[in-house]
Structure 1
Amino acid sequence: MLALISVLAAVLIVGAAFFWRLSRGPVTLAFLKPTIEAEINKNFSGLSVKLDDIVIERDADSGVPHLRLQNVVLADASGALLARAPRAAIGIDEAALFRASIVPTTLELIGPRILAKRNLDGKIELGFGSRAAGADEVVDLEPAPIDDSKADRQGSAAQVAPAEAGSIIDVLAGTGSQTAMSSLGDIKVTEASIQLLDEANGATWFAPDADLQFKRTAYGFIVLAQAKIASGGEPWRLEGSITYRKEQRNYSVSASIFDLVPANVSDEIFALAQFAKVKLPLSGHAEAELDSKGRVIKASAELAAAAGEVGLPDYLAQPIIVDEGTLRADYDPATGGAVISETSLLVGGSRAQLTGRLDPIRAADNRLEAIKIELSARNVNLDAQGTVKDAVAVDRIDFSGRAATDEARLEIDDLIVMSGNAGVRLRGRFTGGNESAGIQIGGRVRDVNAVLLKKLWPPIIAPKTRKWVNDNVIAGRVTDGEFRVDIAPDELAASLRARKLADKAIDFRFGLADVTTTYFKTLPAMQKANGTAVLTGDSFAIAIDRGEVTMPSGQTIGVQSGSVKMTALLAVETLGDFAFKVKSQAQALLEYANWPDLKLVDSTGLDASRLSGDTAADIRLTMPLIKGLPRDRVQVTVAAGITSAEFKKITGNIDLSDGDVKLAVGPEGTAITGSARLNGIPANISWKKGKGKGAIQSATLTTKLDDKQREKLGVKLG
């Protein structure tokens, strides 16, 4: 009994010591390595397995001890690498143990680094990372961080050893002479970091944490996979299966996609990564069939879009807010592209319908050079300002162009925006720069109303003029026009710093009709205005042919001609100059001049309510276009001629008639000069008043009077 207790105590002490040692790290069983390696190889005829060590280690999550093989290398009969992993576990046939044989039934590769490379010719190669640390070394089981740039990922490809994908597939499928793994019904790959490099399409995908399970079937094998894909932003998730049929030697892929953001996976394509960032989380299902050479036979995807945005460069527009959407894409084997159908996006309360196609443009060596894009949208709510509160309904948008993949360039072959009879059509290109893109576009506009013009006007094109148009132009339309923008890469950023854009950078000339606009504070709006406009890089000018201003009294001021000029469009203060030639009845002009924001008549001290006559005037307002404009920074000049003037009781009992007078209002004050009849007597009149409160007034009346006329005017001498 004492002996038994001693044995148990010894076992407990040894067990405690073992578990204490195990808590400090893996425990090596190197003495078993030759035996186990030989037994495994005996049952893997045609293949060879090499081990660095055999250890017992505790599971990181459960703490349960597991037997692990370290630095496993699997090669075929010729010595070609098939697989490599820093750790592995095998399941064995228990019945075979009674025959003193180790027959593997399952194999688990733990933590391998795998590179899958699709060459320009479509051939697939696999590679495996370098060996893991030894049993007495510290092992970092987390995959090494990988920069998300394509150059760094491609550079890491040289650090892995290549393997023939065809050989691995033959082994998994059990075809030809590769029957060595026929005893394995299940192969797992866990905690793997997988990198896929597609040379033909210039694409790189990285899954830092992936699990794969290979199941042998009578017709081939099935691979079940789940992985998180790192692609610049938040990782997206992929779950699916790959079925291989050895007789047909083809693959069927079925995948579920979760939270894929296109802008994050297209970082190397200027048109998608910088020009139009599609930040819509996509989830759904995709299926594909591939032949033995990795060529796609057919493929389709149906995805649902959650709320997000299409981010445009801030010099073009604010992001387009998308509430939700659906997308269907089908592979076109004739071109190798994708056909977009049954696609819709909910924007601004309206569901836009989208169709089109994306086709690859390849070089002679099959390398992807560009993507040809053809898109057509119907029933679109458009707003370049980023808000959907006042979006404009657009009947159709048709786009065709090419997005380069080998350089930062988007070619617009044709872009048409139509809303009823109104339309914009342009072509040109956008090219990448270090600070700002280059813009070379030209086009035409036709019958575009003010509302649509405001929505289409890019924020960077004369931003203060754009703001003035948004704030002041109430209605009207652009009858026709032509525009050209020629801004070199980085020129825009430099111009914003210098606060000046060269005039030649922008040339937009257009006609205007039926315009209703304000121009200074609460002054009555000009209506029914026609004219032409010219916008350049540093100036904006409108030549007005005609228009009218209706005063609250109902009287009308006719605008015979006029001009609006804005200069230094990017400066801290843009100067605005508004000049109009008008005709009206005297009371209409006086009502305008005495508007609360001007108060030109009240300052004279005259009660002009009894004045009548025909008036022709030049009115000019000069001011900086700034927020909270103070009145003292507004210069107003008026030069008016009044004919057939009458002024009842201009002073005392004297009536003025048959007047032909000039009125001048400017920085120096107010002056009235001219000729008239005073109680029927011809006279010359001159009246002046300086500017400002309490300014000195002076008046001169020149006439020839006899005694009777003096008495008529009430003038007494001596």
Structure 2
Amino acid sequence: MAAHLIGMLVLGLVIAGGVLAWRLASGPISLAFLTPYFETALSSESGAFKTVFKDTILTWETTKRAIDIQLVETQVLGRQGDLLAEIPELSVSLSAPALMRGRLAPKSLSIDGLRISLIRRTDGTISLDFSKEKTTSKVLIANLLNEIMQPPDKETPLGSLKRLDILNASLTLSDQKSDIFWDAPLANIFLNRDKTGLTVEAEVDLKLGSSITKLSVLGLVDPVERDISLKVGFSDVIASSVPNVLKELSFLKHIKIPVNGTLATKISSNGTIEPVHFDIQLDKGIVDVTKPLDLTFSLEKGRLIGSFDIANSLFAIETCELNLGPQGTIHLPDIIKKKIPLRRISIVANYFVNAQKLELEKILADLAGPTLRLRGVFQEIAEQISFEIGADIKEMKIGAMAQFWPNNLAPLARTWVTKNLSVGSISAARAKLSGRWSEAGGPQVDSLIGDMNFNNITADYFSPTLKATRANGSAKFDKRMLEI
């Protein structure tokens, strides 16, 4: 008997499902009797605002391949009945456990077509504005956001809400503290709540100049502290377009290289942004810098790891690895006319944006044989860039010195060495120099000292006398003198 009843029930459900599917195929079904329940669930308990709908309908969403409940022509009214907001498209799904208890409780809500403005003021506080044409839905959306950021509470009207989707939205970010403005014409945002907190996922189209870059965003909101841990992924971004949204990174405007990677940071409830950590992969492209020196090279691949401290305007490069390939070269026409072999280079540096100061902690370069280590400080003051540089080079052939020694750096010593020393090698050489650069005068060296050790060289001291061969020794030099 029980099996017979179960069979009849299943058959009845199948027939009812078929009739419902047939009815939905011909158009939406009105569920007007549910409207008052939804109005109560989405209205303020304190009476600050009331949410009303023209109708509640059941539709078949072909894109989702699912049945959807839509609240038609949603309006948010103030205490005096004044219109606060209009939301053309609002979809809802219901909590099954709540239905079993005889309660109508939204499990998920979907809002379509909002314009969202995120503003970070100079004092660090953050405000949100949600608008649609002339009216604002800030009251309702803020209430939904505040609710979904709380731990679930099944006794409140929205306590069963687990998911809030904001679809086909446009998003702007105005950071008045850092003078940053971002514009995203399309954003889909998904908020999911559980006992451990709130997870935010988003797909954002961000404008970078005339191009659009797709971002994937993952955020975790602490339910107690309200801090947000944020991770952003991006791909196929041309580095030269980044200064369009981050003026502090204006030095990237000459780097025409596709990049992809991740950014990660934490935002506190008072608006404080912790350093933004980045891990970026660099694809094949061209670096063409004009200031402080003309510098050009083609990159095969690279990786950049570091952080950007917005509060202190500090751009820290923890690791920068650039691979130019086995035939790679770099062109520094202001220093050396010919291209210099350069296979790989690694950099550790800090750039202080406000002070316009670059500290090179380490540059290690593979010059297709010799290895070069550099360190130095560059700072722009009074339209000039001062510099202090220390350099060490190892395992350089004597015959290659002319290729690496700049023409205008200790020209007397350079001329004598390149003319009179041949064969052999320099096991180690050191130099320290300082000077300044300006657009009008170019680079100018104020001081220079250095020394070197050489092995197995041939020296032509006083031509046409006999040359010294297989000589080992050392030399020291400055701007005016060379002593061997």
* TM-score, normalisation: structure 1: 0.43
- 1:302 and 2:304 are equivalent in the alignment: no
**Structure 1 residue 107 displacement after superposition:** 0.2
Contact kept, 8 Å, 1:50 with 1:74, in 2: the verdict is yes
Q: 1:49 corresponds to which residue?
A: 51
Distance across 1 between alignment mates of 2:277 and 2:262 = 9
- 1:243 and 2:228 are equivalent in the alignment: no
Q: 312, 315, 321: which one pairs with 1:344?
A: 321
Distance across 2 between alignment mates of 1:381 and 1:116 = 46
Distance across 1 between alignment mates of 2:407 and 2:169 = 50
Q: 2:363 corresponds to which residue?
A: 378
Q: 347, 352, 359: which one pairs with 1:354?
A: 347
Q: 1:169 to 1:94 in 2, by over 3 A?
A: closer
Q: 1:392 to 1:309 in 2, by over 3 A?
A: farther
Distance across 1 between alignment mates of 2:291 and 2:309 = 35
**Structure 1 residue 161 displacement after superposition:** 7.4
Distance across 1 between alignment mates of 2:50 and 2:369 = 68
Higher relative contact order (CA 8 A, sep 6+): 2
- 1:114 and 2:116 are equivalent in the alignment: yes
Distance across 1 between alignment mates of 2:34 and 2:386 = 67
**Structure 1 residue 90 displacement after superposition:** 0.6
Q: 1:530 corresponds to which residue?
A: none
Distance across 2 between alignment mates of 1:481 and 1:322 = 28
Q: 1:220 to 1:45 in 2, by over 3 A?
A: farther
- 1:172 and 2:148 are equivalent in the alignment: yes
- 1:451 and 2:403 are equivalent in the alignment: yes
Q: 1:413 to 1:118 in 2, by over 3 A?
A: farther
The unaligned stretches of length 5 or more in structure 2 are: 1-18, 329-341, 395-399, 410-417, 421-430, 447-462, 465-484
Q: 1:84 to 1:264 in 2, by over 3 A?
A: farther
Distance across 2 between alignment mates of 1:328 and 1:483 = 30
Q: 1:398 corresponds to which residue?
A: 376
Distance across 2 between alignment mates of 1:476 and 1:82 = 85
Residue correspondence of structure 1 range 156-167 to structure 2 within 5 A = none
1:508-547 alpha-carbon deviations (Å, 9 max, x no partner): 799xxxxxxxxxxxxxxxxxxxxxxxxxxxxxxxxxxxx9
- 1:192 and 2:185 are equivalent in the alignment: no
**Structure 1 residue 108 displacement after superposition:** 0.8
Distance across 2 between alignment mates of 1:106 and 1:201 = 36
**Structure 1 residue 52 displacement after superposition:** 6.5
Distance across 2 between alignment mates of 1:372 and 1:72 = 55
**Structure 1 residue 316 displacement after superposition:** 5.6
- AA partner of residue 128 (structure 1): F
Distance across 1 between alignment mates of 2:172 and 2:281 = 26
Contact kept, 8 Å, 1:86 with 1:112, in 2: the verdict is no
- AA partner of residue 124 (structure 1): I
- AA partner of residue 125 (structure 2): K
Contact kept, 8 Å, 1:124 with 1:165, in 2: the verdict is no
Residue correspondence of structure 1 range 597-636 to structure 2 within 5 A = none
- AA partner of residue 104 (structure 1): P
Contact kept, 8 Å, 2:230 with 2:266, in 1: the verdict is yes
**Structure 1 residue 123 displacement after superposition:** 0.9
Distance across 1 between alignment mates of 2:388 and 2:65 = 63
1:112-152 alpha-carbon deviations (Å, 9 max, x no partner): 221111111111111123249xxxxxxxxxxxxxxxxxxxx
**Structure 1 residue 204 displacement after superposition:** 2.2
Q: 1:311 to 1:187 in 2, by over 3 A?
A: same
Residue correspondence of structure 1 range 20-31 to structure 2 within 5 A = none
1:188 match: secondary structure: strand
1:288 match: secondary structure: strand
1:139-183 alpha-carbon deviations (Å, 9 max, x no partner): xxxxxxxxxxxxxxxxxxxx9776799866532222799954212
2:279 match: secondary structure: strand
Q: 1:337 to 1:270 in 2, by over 3 A?
A: closer
Contact kept, 8 Å, 2:363 with 2:373, in 1: the verdict is yes
1:79-128 alpha-carbon deviations (Å, 9 max, x no partner): 99999754221112457668886432110112222111111111111112
- AA partner of residue 160 (structure 2): S
Distance across 2 between alignment mates of 1:224 and 1:109 = 15
- 1:322 and 2:315 are equivalent in the alignment: no
Q: 1:258 corresponds to which residue?
A: 235
- AA partner of residue 376 (structure 2): D
Q: 36, 39, 50: which one pairs with 1:38?
A: 36
Contact kept, 8 Å, 1:206 with 1:229, in 2: the verdict is yes
**Structure 1 residue 293 displacement after superposition:** 1.0
Q: 1:66 to 1:91 in 2, by over 3 A?
A: closer
Contact kept, 8 Å, 2:230 with 2:264, in 1: the verdict is yes
Q: 2:385 corresponds to which residue?
A: 412
Distance across 1 between alignment mates of 2:433 and 2:312 = 38
- AA partner of residue 111 (structure 1): G
Q: 1:339 to 1:345 in 2, by over 3 A?
A: same
Distance across 2 between alignment mates of 1:219 and 1:508 = 61
* TM-score, normalisation: structure 2: 0.61
**Structure 1 residue 341 displacement after superposition:** 0.9
Residue correspondence of structure 1 range 491-502 to structure 2 within 5 A = none
For the pair shown, the structure with the greater C-alpha radius of gyration is 1
Aligned-residue identity in percent: 18
1:296 match: secondary structure: coil
Q: 1:245 to 1:506 in 2, by over 3 A?
A: closer
Q: 1:299 to 1:103 in 2, by over 3 A?
A: same
Contact kept, 8 Å, 2:351 with 2:357, in 1: the verdict is yes
